[in-house]
Structure 1
Amino acid sequence: MSIDAHATIAREADRLAAVLARTDPAARVPTCPDWTADDLLWHLTEVHEFWAAILREGVTSEEEVQRIEEAKSPRPEDREELLARRAAATAALLEQLGAHEDEDPAWFWFSEVQGVGATRRMQPHEATVHRVDAELTADLDQLSPIAPEDALAGLDHVLQVMWPAGFEWIPDWATLRPVAVVEIAPAGYEVRQLLISRWSGARPRDGQEFDAPVGRPLADPADADGLPRARAAGTPQALDLWAWGRVRALDRLPGGPQTVNVDGDPEAVAQLEALIAEGHD
């Protein structure tokens, strides 16, 4: 399902800024407790400036990414300057997205997904999720809705990019084992199949033990043989926020509270909960 990525980025980023402009700069962000409202505003500003620079300069290597990072201007101290810089950053990102095709080369942090299209697909969800963070920070009684097509795209981005990217950080000394299969069932739409694995082992240099979940779409049904199963069902909007770790937002959605119903084998449910707990900032 295609979405208007540029319109979504503009709408959600402007909404975030408008909400935070009326919020105490020092208010804590409940979904990112290390951040204040102004930290959240700065985060989206940095993100938009960074990706605008990546596309503008045609960056394709880690060395070029480092140069972009080192060249960024410091954070403004004044709230009005920060708001103005956010607006300029979003405009710059949209300008660069409009100037490039999805197939144009550009660096992206997940090696399996490269090109301008990766940024065009990621940024609507980055803006949407952080707009939700802003509205929670402002303690609004009712959050702005997420359209079904945007929610489904956001859910699929978690399943196809955010969780699979975890495989890239698995060290070569670790052991990887599949542990569960989960059906992700958005009401009225196609069911998604998720394979959850865990990587574990002792780090050679200090013996520290690791055991963490990763997930990716189930590619081969044979990989699910013998594994415990669970099912997560809800509206596209509820599943999108749940997958992005914004469960507390479900109580404030338009039309009343929503839930994601998770049931099945207790072991599979536990593995899914562990994966969700990893979260996304």
Structure 2
Amino acid sequence: MEETLEFPARLRLIEERSAAFRAAVASAPDLDARVPTCPDWALRDLVRHLGDVHRRWAANVTAGPADGPTGTPVPDSPRDRAALLAWSAESTDQLLGALREFGPDRDCWTWWGKSESPQTSGAVARHQVQEATVHTYDAQLTAGAAQPLPVEAALDGVEEFLSTCVAWTGTWPHEPATVDYHATEGRSWRLFLSPDGARFTRLATPAPAPATASARGTASELVLFLYDRIPLDSLQPEGDPSLFSRLRDWDPEEA
């Protein structure tokens, strides 16, 4: 398995996971069913959300470098199931079309400007793999048939989450600490938290020293935990468990 997914593989995963998302929606008995992992949303809201995301990122990639998102309005999604699924497929096509047209190196606006992830179309593609993958899990759970995340997407997803959502320059307001994430598929990462912010690295095995806290599980379980889909006790935690709560509550943009 690739250590880091290449751009074509990420486009393939966006397409595959988005198709799996629509398959789960098509199999659900009721579009008004509440989504257990997003309790404020019904299933049709989840479809609307992912379609909005695909269309807005397509517009941001197309626009290129900018000081903010394009603000391009997204048309209302239909309520009929067949029409809604067709609208969703069109949304995915718009995203993939923009990414294919401009490739992985186009500069564009992103919300993660102070993170370790670059502000490029390639980073957008990487994050959109996770958007489609996690929301496919949400849709499958709502339809009563949740499946583990694909291993290649999940392994890249742990690292993508740390790079994009955690490794920022904002000040960590607590005692310096380290957090390890161990995937049973054989890959590990260490997160360093300090007054200078957060950074992460791939971790050699065995680790040079114990971390302040760690969590072990499949790559799928780690991603689902990072995105608040499953609790910490679904994994094998060690060390100070309160560190995970402090990390979840930390907003580096406000630090």
Amino acid at match of 2:54: H
Aligned to 2:228: 245
Query: For residue 247 of structure 2, what is the aligned residue in structure 1?
Result: 275
- 8 Å CA contact 1:48–1:90 kept in 2: the answer is yes
Residue of structure 2 aligned with 1:92, choices 72, 94, 115: 94
Name segments (4+ residues, structure 1) moved above 6 Å.
none
The AA in structure 1 aligned to 2:71 is: R
Residues 105 and 122 in structure 2, CA contact (< 8 A), matched pair in contact too = yes
The CA distance in 2 between the partners of 1:179 and 1:27, in whole Å, is 43
Percentage identity across aligned positions?
A: 31
Match of 2:214 in 1: 231
- TM norm structure 1: 0.74
Quote the Cα distance in structure 1 between the aligned partners of 2:150 and 2:138: 17
Q: 1:53 offset after TM fit, Å?
A: 1.3
Q: Deviation of residue 138 (structure 1)?
A: 1.0
Alignment match, 2:37 = 31
Match of 1:138 in 2: 143
Rounded Cα–Cα distance in structure 2 between residues aligned with 1:139 and 1:275: 31
Q: Who is 1:120 aligned against? A: 125
Instruction: Call closer, same or farther: CA 1:232–1:35 in 2, change over 3 Å.
Output: same
- For structure 2, list consecutive stretches of 5 or more residues without a partner in the other structure: 203-209, 251-255
Q: Does 1:56 align with 2:37?
A: no
Distance 1:215 1:80, change over 3 A: farther
| SS state at 1:87 partner | helix
For residues 180-191 of structure 1, the aligned pairs below 5 Å read 180-191=177-188
Structure 1 distance, partners of 2:187, 2:31, is: 41
TM-score (normalised: structure 2): 0.81
Q: Choose the corresponding residue for 2:51, options 45, 53, 71.
A: 45
What CA distance in whole angstroms lies between the structure 1 residues aligned with 2:74 and 2:223?
Answer: 32
- Alignment match of 1:102 (pick from 101, 104, 120): 104
The answer (yes or no) to whether the contact 2:59–2:70 under 8 Å persists in 1 is no
Q: 1:196–1:272: 8 Å Cα contact kept in structure 2?
A: no
From 221, 229, 236, the equivalent of 1:261 is 236
- The alignment of Structure 1 onto Structure 2 pairs a total of residues equal to 235
Q: Could you tell me which amino acid in structure 2 is paired with residue 189 of structure 1?
A: G
Shift of 1:32: 0.7
Q: 1:102-146: CA deviations, max 9, x gaps?
A: 221111111133111110110111000000000111122xx3343
Contact map agreement 1:183 1:231 (CA 8 A) in 2:
yes
Mark the CA change 1:77 to 1:17 in structure 2 (over 3 Å): closer, same or farther: same
1:205 aligned partner: none
The 1:215–1:245 alpha-carbon spacing in structure 2 relative to 1, beyond 3 Å, is: farther
In the alignment, structure 1 segments of 5+ residues that lack a partner are: 199-213, 220-226, 251-257
Q: What is the Cα-based RMSD across aligned positions, in Å?
A: 2.9
Q: Deviations over 1:148-174 (max 9, x none)?
A: 322111001111111235x66x8xxxx
* Distance (Å, rounded) in 2 between the aligned partners of 1:137 and 1:13: 16
Residue 67 (structure 1) aligned with residue 50 (structure 2):
no
Take 2:247 and 2:198, find their aligned partners in 1: how far apart are those partners? 7
Partners of 2:33 and 2:42 within 8 A in 1: yes
Specify whether residues 179 and 27 from structure 1 end up closer, same or farther in structure 2 by C-alpha distance, changes over 3 A only.
Answer: farther
Q: Does the CA contact (< 8 Å) of 1:58 and 1:105 recur in 2?
A: yes
| In structure 2, C-alpha distance between the alignment counterparts of 1:82 and 1:246, rounded to whole Å | 25
Counterpart for residue 253 of structure 1: none
Contact 2:181–2:188 under 8 Å retained in 1: yes
* Cα pair distance change 1:67/1:233, threshold 3 Å: closer
Distance in structure 2 (CA, Å) of the matches to 1:96 and 1:137: 30
